[in-house]
Structure 1
Amino acid sequence: MIKSFQLAQGALHPSEDQDSQMLLFVNPDTAERDLLRSRFHLDEHALASALDPDEVSRIEFHPDSLFLIWKRPENYSGGDSFSFEVSSFGLLLNAERLVVIAPDDSQMRGLGVRHDLHTPLDVLLDMLLHNIHHYLGHLKVIKMVARELQQRFNSSMQNHHLVQMFNLSESLIYYINAIHSNGTVLSRLRNHAEKHHFGAEVVALIDDLIIENTQCYKQAEIYSTVFAGLMDARGNLANNTMNEMLRKLTLINVVFLPLNLIASIGGMSEFSMMTTGVPWWLAYPALVLAMLLLGGVMVLFLQRMARDFRAARPRPAGEVGSQGRRRGRFFTRVFS
Structure 2
Amino acid sequence: MAETRFYHFSPEGLFYGLKSLKDALAALAEGGFIWLDYYQPAREDLNILVDAIGIHPLSVEDCFDEQQVPKIEHFSNNSFIIFNSFTYRENELFTDEINLFIGKNFVITVSGHNSDERRPLDGLISVIENDSSTAKNGPAYLMHKVLDYIVDQKYQAFDRMEDELYEAEDLLLENISSFKPIQLILLRRNLATLRKSLFNEREILIKINRMDCPFIPEKALAQYRDVYDHLSKFYELTDKYLEFETSLMELYTSMLNNHLAKVSNATNLSVKRLSLIATIFMPLTLLASIGGMSEWTMITGQENWRISYPLFILGMVIIGVITYIVIKRIEKRGFKIQSEEEENHSG
TM-score range, shorter chain: 0.7 to 0.9
Single out whichever of 89-98 and 287-296 deviates more from structure 2.
287-296
Alignment of 1:140 with 2:159, yes or no, is: yes
Instruction: Give the whole-Å Cα distance in 2 for the aligned partners of 1:196 and 1:61.
Output: 10
Distance 1:46 1:28, change over 3 A: same
Could you say what secondary structure the match of 1:90 adopts? Answer: strand
Q: CA deviation at 1:38?
A: 4.2
Instruction: Give the whole-Å Cα distance in 2 for the aligned partners of 1:311 and 1:26.
Output: 78
Distance 1:203 1:295, change over 3 A: farther
Q: CA deviation at 1:267?
A: 5.5
Alignment of 1:246 with 2:250, yes or no, is: no
Provide TM-score, normalisation by structure 1. 0.76
Q: Provide structure 1 residue ranges, at least 5 long, that are not aligned to the other structure.
A: 323-336
Provide TM-score, normalisation by structure 2. 0.74
Distance 1:135 1:271, change over 3 A: same
Q: Provide structure 2 residue ranges, at least 5 long, that are not aligned to the other structure.
A: 25-33, 113-117, 297-304
The residue identity in structure 1 corresponding to 2:82 is I
In angstroms, what is the RMSD of aligned CA positions? 3.8
1:27 to 33, 37, 40: 40
Could you say what secondary structure the match of 1:249 adopts? Answer: helix
Residue in 2 aligned with 1:56? 69
Distance 1:281 1:214, change over 3 A: farther
Alignment of 1:271 with 2:277, yes or no, is: no
The residue identity in structure 2 corresponding to 1:151 is D
Q: CA deviation at 1:65?
A: 0.9
Instruction: Give the whole-Å Cα distance in 1 for the aligned partners of 2:16 and 2:321.
Output: 88
Residue in 2 aligned with 1:96? 105
Q: CA offsets, 1:166-203, max 9 Å, x none?
A: 11111111111100100111111222368667142x11
Aligned length: 312
- Contact preservation (8 Å) 2:85, 2:97: yes
The structure having more radius of gyration, on CA atoms, is 2
Alignment of 1:106 with 2:120, yes or no, is: yes
Q: CA deviation at 1:207?
A: 1.6
Could you say what secondary structure the match of 1:49 adopts? Answer: helix
Alignment of 1:84 with 2:105, yes or no, is: no
Residue in 2 aligned with 1:17? 20
Residue in 2 aligned with 1:126? 145
The residue identity in structure 2 corresponding to 1:70 is F
Residue in 1 aligned with 2:192? 173
Residue in 1 aligned with 2:29? none
Query: Percent sequence identity over matched residues?
Result: 11
Instruction: Give the whole-Å Cα distance in 1 for the aligned partners of 2:263 and 2:257.
Output: 10
Alignment of 1:227-246 (within 5 A): 227-246=245-264
Could you say what secondary structure the match of 2:346 adopts? Answer: coil
Alignment of 1:204-215 (within 5 A): 204-215=222-233
- Contact preservation (8 Å) 2:207, 2:213: no
